A and B are shown apart, each in its own frame.
Chain A
């Protein structure tokens, strides 16, 4: 149990375009989902926290207009990188939590912006 999927697993897009990443909890209802970003050889940095049906809470320094997060249902959250640029190239990881503290991580999405 407690499986989280991400789609796509990797994506290449051109500079200036937008790309959407999906995060799904497959066998539980995720009241809270988290989006992390990881640059090469660095740790996971929390970008934002989203609760189902409400606006996401962004960490300091994360542009909310650039990284649009939607958590429209208890099993799906999406991260849209708008007007992507090469510096947005990174590994994006989502996690989902039902209640309490236990978080389950997705396999990650590798974004390359050319």
Chain B
């Protein structure tokens, strides 16, 4: 079965705090891709990152960083020094060739307060 779990429904932080969004996935395929998307109030999905199952290197892009651990089937996303503009819903998603569909987690709503 293919499944993505984002256990945190809502997170509220004060500006400049660091925040980590959790993502746990399930798949039987050995080749798969993991994604993070941001959905601001406008509704348009913004692609943030893609990782394939063979690349466990962590990635940093500005204030964003991602920690991929196959041993725990997790692909967590950290925002350092959060800003009000980071307020949005963040989705983790999984694609595998065997299933051939992109499966989304329930999303985490992040509110960053000034």
Show the binding face of A for B, using Cβ within 8 Å: 34, 38, 41-44, 46, 49, 91, 93, 95, 101-103, 105, 107-108, 110
Contacts of A93 in B (CB 8 A): 43, 45
B97 touches A105 (CB 8 A): no
Contacts of A105 in B (CB 8 A): 37, 44-45, 47
B19 at the interface (CB under 8 A from A): no
Show the binding face of B for A, using Cβ within 8 Å: 33, 37, 42-45, 47, 50, 91, 95, 97, 101-107, 109
Q: Which B residue's beta carbon lies closest to that of A9?
A: B43
Q: Say how far B84's CB is from chain A's closest CB, in angstroms.
A: 20
A93 to B91, CA, bound (A): 14
A107 to B102, CA, bound (A): 17
A34 to B107, CA, bound (A): 19
Question: What would 19 more interface pairs be, CB under 8 Å, given A34-B102, A46-B101, A93-B45?
Answer: A34-B101, A43-B91, A43-B107, A44-B104, A46-B102, A46-B103, A91-B43, A93-B43, A101-B33, A101-B97, A102-B50, A103-B102, A105-B37, A105-B44, A105-B45, A107-B42, A107-B44, A108-B43, A108-B44
- Other-chain residue from A49, A101, A110 in contact with B95 (beta carbon distance below 8 A): A101
A2 to B50, CA, bound (A): 15
B44 touches A44 (CB 8 A): no
A107 to B47, CA, bound (A): 12
A43 to B44, CA, bound (A): 13
Contacts of A41 in B (CB 8 A): 109
Contacts of B43 in A (CB 8 A): 38, 91, 93, 107-108, 110
Q: A101-B33, A101-B95, A101-B97 are in contact. Are A43 and B45 (CB under 8 A)?
A: no
Contacts of A49 in B (CB 8 A): 101
A107 to B43, CA, bound (A): 7
Contacts of B97 in A (CB 8 A): 101
Q: A101-B33, A107-B43, A110-B43 are in contact. Are A43 and B101 (CB under 8 A)?
A: no
Interface centre among A44, A93, A105, A107 (most CB of B within 10 A): A44
Q: Say how far B45's CB is from chain A's closest CB, in angstroms.
A: 4
